[in-house]
Amino acid sequence: MKARVLIRPKEGILDPQGKAVERALPALGFEGIDNVRVGRLVELEADDPAHLESLCEKLLANPLIEDFEIEEIEA
Amino acid sequence: MRFGVLQFPGSCDERDAIAACGRVGEAEMIWHESTDLSGVDAVVVPGGFSYGDYLRVGAIARFAPAMEAVTRFAADGGPVLGICNGFQVLCEAGLLPGALLPNEGRKFLCRQVDLEVVSADSVWLGATEPGQTLSIPVKHANGRWFAPDQTVDALEEAGQIALRYAAGQNPNGSTRDIAGVTNEAGNVMGLMPHPEHAVDAALTGSADGLEIFRSPALATA
């Protein structure tokens, strides 16, 4: 299967990258944008999707500071 | 006391770590593919950008063959010190609590800071006293140590908070100004500041980092 893993900073954890983007927006004329959070997107192909969850917990994300979602994009 | 200093692709402080260890004992480099720690009394996981810091700092280095050996060494009570990237690797490996996040102010920082010894109970701070100040430089972009509040409470209670940045000197926004922590047994310690860059007062203005490298020999004496 082909899958997409979306990893983002956990709720409540300061995301300096998101803050920097948020602060840059008014200078470009984009008003009213709040709570910008920057994460990572990992695309992969897996022979056996059963391992995806544990692979995410062990390597792709650090569950202490990040949440992740696995999205199947092609069986 | 014979130190083994790990070297990953992307490490950059391993030579300074060898030189620092060499001032208090003997030291050898251990390539990341080696699992042989025989003859080594203490391990240093040095600073740098192991495996390019790809994915997340320390995330890939924790799977290095040498880290399997270090994990066994630590479980047997062997002294292990993680400096900067090494601290990040030890947190990712689960040998130390917490995780290291990008600095609050986003900038790469390089400056001398004062550290306060909070608990001197660990193998790596036995040469110091609680309340003592150590002047040691930091240089990092991902040094904001974080753990959930209830975890930090428990660590404080257990004496696992080893070092704090002195009042007003927290450079990265770390939780409760924490600069270094230990495992429960006190044989593994990680810190963001670089004691290996503070071993020669004539060169860098402070030799306080030597206190850390001197400590494990005192523990085994």
**pLDDT at residue B221 in the model:** 59
| Chain A hits for B101, Cβ within 8 Å | 13-14, 65
Asked whether residue A9 carries a pLDDT value surpassing 70, the answer given is yes
| Chain B hits for A60, Cβ within 8 Å | 55
In the sheet that holds B26-31, the strands lie side by side as: B26-31, B2-7, B42-45, B80-83, B188-191, B178-182, B161-165, B109-117, B133-140
Check A16 against B146: CB less than 8 A apart: no
Report the CATH number at residue B51: 3.40.50.880
What's the mean pLDDT in A34-54?
94
For residues B162 and B155, the answer to whether their CB atoms sit within 8 Å is no
Domain range for A30 is 2-74
pTM for this model (two decimals): 0.95
> Between A16, A59, A65, which is nearest B106 by CB?
A16
Quote the CA–CA distance of B178 and B204 in Å, as a whole number: 24
Domain count, chain A: 1
Q: What is the mean pLDDT of chain B?
A: 97
Enumerate the β-bridge partners of residue B134: B115
Mutate: best of A64, A66, A67, A68, partner B, most B CBs <10 A? A64
**pLDDT at residue B10 in the model:** 96
**pLDDT at residue A75 in the model:** 79
Residues of chain B with confidence (pLDDT) below 70? 221
Domain count, chain B: 1
> Between B99, B102, B173, which is nearest A64 by CB?
B99
How close B120 gets to chain A, by Cα (Å)? 27
The model's confidence at residue A72, banded by pLDDT at 50, 70 and 90, is very high
Check B59 against A62: CB less than 8 A apart: yes
Report the CATH number at residue A33: 3.30.1280.10
Domain range for B139 is 2-220
What is the CB neighbour count within 10 angstroms for residue B152? 20
